[in-house]
Amino acid sequence: MTPALALPMLLGMCGRFAIHTNASTILERTGAKGPAPEFGARYNAAPTQSLPVVRRHPDSGDRVLGLLRWGLVPVWAKDAGIGAKMINARAESLSEKPAFRNALRKRRCLVPFDAYYEWRKDGTAKIPYAIGTDSNGVDAFAGLWEGWKDPATGDWLHSFTIVTTTANEATSHIHERMPVILPPDRWGAWLGEEEAGPAELQDMLAPYPAAHMRVWPVGKDVGNVRNDRPDLIDAIQSGPAINPA
């Protein structure tokens, strides 16, 4: 991981999450078809890593699961380094930003996750929390993806970004933003399987209901991207666990 992706840069946005559900369960949960890519559990998924993403196949129309790099690289980019600055996309301005507006129309995706991490500022300290839902299964962020051809090598890179919105009542005490979490009944429309105009798409990008979220404090080891182990997501006793329900 490059120094540019150290923790201080990530604190202003959704910059870490956990996806430890296996590929076969993700396929079953999301209705994706075809062979599943090989990937291991990630308890501290970070930008520039290749992570599971569900997209709609351009020919068959089926949902497919693949590995894409986190940090969207626009088709017009001169090099892939710009992706480190595009790990998130604000819901309020997707249709205005050159990096995202075409992807919003044609290349929407789902990013499976089990929980995500956010840090609350307490003076000079930064207190990490894990945040998930009460769905009892893998959930999905709203995402956008893009294909970029390296002008030097001719190789294709497929990358994605996670859409963010204003925080709900369960998470606003930690951070003012949160990733857009789509319930399963919105997955088809977001992927383009159903007709959805600009207004309907924007309506999908609302904060997830606070009553269905879980928030719990975790250890500070999650702040180091080199740490990636199951206990990172375990609750600790140094802060209050919150369940709005």
Residues with catalytic roles: 14, 118
Token pair of 226 as six digits: 């080199």
Rounded Cα distance, 41 and 32, in Å: 19
- DSSP bridge partners of 19: 42
Q: Which helix (H) or strand (E) holds 65?
A: strand 63-70
Rounded Cα distance, 207 and 175, in Å: 13
Give the rounded distance of the alpha carbon of 79 from its chain centre.
22
> Are 148 and 159 in contact, with CB atoms under 8 Å apart?
yes
> Are 243 and 209 in contact, with CB atoms under 8 Å apart?
no
Q: Which helix (H) or strand (E) holds 243?
A: none
